[in-house]
Chains A and B, each alone.
Chain A
Amino acid sequence: MREVLRVAGALFVRDMRTAVSYRTGFVLSSLGAVVNIAAVFFLSEALGGSTAPLLDPYGGSYFGFVIVGVALTNFMGLGISGLGGRIREGLMTGTLEYMLLSPNRLAVLLLGSTLWSHAFALVTIVLYGVIGTFLGMDLEMATAPLALVSFVLAVISFNALGLLAASIVILIKQGDPVTWLVTTASVLLAGVFYPTAVLPEWLRGLGQLLPLTHALELVRRALLGGEGLGSLWPSLLALTGLTAVFLALGLWACGAAIRVAQRDGSLSYY
């Protein structure tokens, strides 16, 4: 365990040093989070105070609803495309081959490679929360522990999907159909900008296959609606199940992709 933490720490420090070395990019990324919140705030202002009944389970405020949607979608993007991006970068530079020569499990290397971006996104999410609260997002009724557990599960499920996407990148290098498919479907079906209740029944059914759908439902209703496990357990169960399935599938796919790449010699070129 100590060795895993040391490796994870080294991957985190490497990425932090690299990110900070690109000063302009780092500052712009930080500013981007603030701009996003402002855009969402003005959008909800434009809609006026009118709260649709469909938003009642989520505290009734569109601002809070969308802030949570955008924040979790950002995390999903990081989790899914982050791993593939890291693999692609490692293939292009030749660093992946050296990393695979180390005595570490593939999952540790891959997931550790996204720690910095997750930490940065976490700071962004806290920023969303602080500024959102300042601008009127009501968190007084929040069931924080359930929201936190749901959030952690969601992050794991996003990274599990990321492993699937990474295995495709290892095999076909360019193009990432998993990221495209999951991101597009999630924005449409998971209820990022609107409650899923507005969707036709059959589309809503498809949305149930996406971790983001359940993650948003859980975090919003626990954080903004103050609901507990008593009413949210079906969503928690669904998210846990999806996470377990995608994680097992992702780890298997990544291991298989590496073995294929080891056989055809494509681990060292892009």
Chain B
Amino acid sequence: MEQGQLFGLLGENGAGKTTAIRMFVTTLLPTSGVARVGGYDVVNEPQRVREIIGLVSSEERSFYWRLTGRQNLDFFAALHHLSPRAARHRIDELLEVVDVRDEADQPFHSYSTGTRHKFSIARGLLTDPQVLFLDEPTRSLDPIAASEVRHLISERIVRQMGRSALLATHSLAEAEAICDRVAIIRAGRLVATGTVADLRAQMGLTTLCEIRIRGEPEVTPDELARLPGVQAVAPLVDGKATRLELRLEQGGSALDGVLRYLLAGGAVVESCQTREPTLEEIYRRALETGPESEAPQLTPEFPA
């Protein structure tokens, strides 16, 4: 994971996302393997790791509900040895960042779930950590609140504040929308890792292309399928038009040749649309093909 990146950790329920995060933040000892955060070993240098990380979970109960949001933050700031003055300043700043200033002096139990999650993010940022670990921070949020939290994480924390963040989620749409890179894990093992484009290539997934043509071109689907970069062609008659569904090699660079070939053969191209495989398709492919027994053990390193 590189500095200043938002890294997504994807996996089904029980895949080991929370377990992995708890190892990275040193509250759970790994049985084997190595993990380093900021260059520090999570087993041998836990104190060093704790000094540079922040943890955000979706566990709302991890606050003191009889206290106000501000009092909660003040308490956790003191635990991290922030002086009263520094804590006051930092808390005011974070209340602005997560946009809960107006609610800060209300009891924690009176907050909506979305507001509680925002306070959880503020708590994770109290020590201005280099790396922020977020364990399903949008879980149980309504779509608007989830969108706000996603924006807060990707735009404010990662892009503007320059923090590195690891986001555990089982929402593929969420990971695709905001993560720079993702890792897919299954049963505690890394199945695939990289940018979404990398994963498309790794998984051997093709670019899908749909072309609608008119006329009666002197071109057969078999001829198209023999063009470089074309993997398969399926013709479908749709009224007076013919619809061709093509699978092109990753990136769809063969499209230019296909269109030229069709036009040269007398076809009138009505429309042409390409679609890259979604993260969901990548994810399904990774889970289908990732050999559990051969997959490498999870030995990630976080930015120094």
**Which residues of A come within 8 Å of B, CB atoms?**
3, 6-7, 9-10, 13-14, 17-18, 21-22, 92-95, 97-104, 109, 259, 262-263, 265, 267-268
- B10 close to A (CB within 8 Å): no
1/0 contact trace for B259-278 toward A, CB 8 Å? 00000000000000000000
B62 contacts A17, C-beta separation under 8 Å: no
What are the 7 tightest A-B residue pairs by CB atom distance, in nearest-first order?
A: A10-B78, A94-B62, A102-B79, A21-B66, A93-B61, A94-B59, A262-B29
Chain A nearest CB from B66 CB (Å) reads: 4
Chain A nearest CB from B230 CB (Å) reads: 50
- Residues of chain B with a CB closer than 8 A to A13's CB: 75
**Contacting A97 at CB < 8 Å: which of B31, B51, B62, B66?**
B62
The chain B residue with its CB closest to the CB of A267 is B27
A265 contacts B19, C-beta separation under 8 Å: yes
**Which residues of B come within 8 Å of A, CB atoms?**
19, 22, 25-29, 31, 47, 50-51, 53, 55, 57, 59, 61-64, 66-67, 71, 74-76, 78-81, 83-84, 107, 123
A103 contacts B50, C-beta separation under 8 Å: yes
Complex Cα distance, B59 from A93, in Å, reads 9
User: How many residue pairs between the two chains, A and B, have CB atoms under 8 Å in the bound complex?
Assistant: 79
Chain B nearest CB from A221 CB (Å) reads: 41
- Residues of chain B with a CB closer than 8 A to A94's CB: 57, 59, 61-62
Given A10-B75, A18-B67, A101-B27, decide whether A95 and B62 contact each other with a Cβ distance below 8 A.
Answer: yes
A95 contacts B64, C-beta separation under 8 Å: yes
Most buried by B among A10, A13, A92, A104: A10
A17 contacts B67, C-beta separation under 8 Å: yes
B79 contacts A265, C-beta separation under 8 Å: no
- Residues of chain A with a CB closer than 8 A to B79's CB: 7, 10, 99, 102, 104, 109
Determine the main DSSP class of A at the interface with B. Answer: helix
- Residues of chain A with a CB closer than 8 A to B62's CB: 93-95, 97-98
**Contacting A22 at CB < 8 Å: which of B28, B47, B51, B66?**
B66
B57 contacts A7, C-beta separation under 8 Å: no
Given A18-B66, A259-B29, decide whether A101 and B55 contact each other with a Cβ distance below 8 A.
Answer: yes
- Residues of chain A with a CB closer than 8 A to B53's CB: 101
Chain B nearest CB from A80 CB (Å) reads: 24
Given A101-B25, A265-B28, A268-B22, decide whether A17 and B71 contact each other with a Cβ distance below 8 A.
Answer: yes
Chain A nearest CB from B142 CB (Å) reads: 23
A7 contacts B25, C-beta separation under 8 Å: no
A98 contacts B55, C-beta separation under 8 Å: yes
The chain A residue with its CB closest to the CB of B54 is A101
- Residues of chain A with a CB closer than 8 A to B107's CB: 21
Chain B nearest CB from A150 CB (Å) reads: 33
The chain B residue with its CB closest to the CB of A265 is B28
**Contacting A14 at CB < 8 Å: which of B31, B61, B67?**
B67
- Residues of chain A with a CB closer than 8 A to B27's CB: 97, 100-101, 262, 267-268
Additional A-B contact list (7), CB under 8 Å, known A262-B27, A265-B28, A267-B28: A21-B66, A22-B66, A97-B27, A98-B62, A98-B123, A109-B79, A263-B29
Chain B nearest CB from A14 CB (Å) reads: 5
B28 contacts A262, C-beta separation under 8 Å: yes
The chain A residue with its CB closest to the CB of B120 is A98
Complex Cα distance, B62 from A101, in Å, reads 13
Chain A nearest CB from B216 CB (Å) reads: 67
B71 contacts A101, C-beta separation under 8 Å: no
The chain B residue with its CB closest to the CB of A260 is B29
A-B contact pairs, 21 of them (CB 8 A): A6-B81, A7-B79, A7-B81, A9-B78, A13-B75, A14-B71, A14-B75, A18-B67, A93-B63, A94-B59, A95-B61, A95-B63, A97-B62, A99-B79, A101-B53, A102-B76, A102-B80, A103-B50, A104-B79, A262-B27, A265-B19
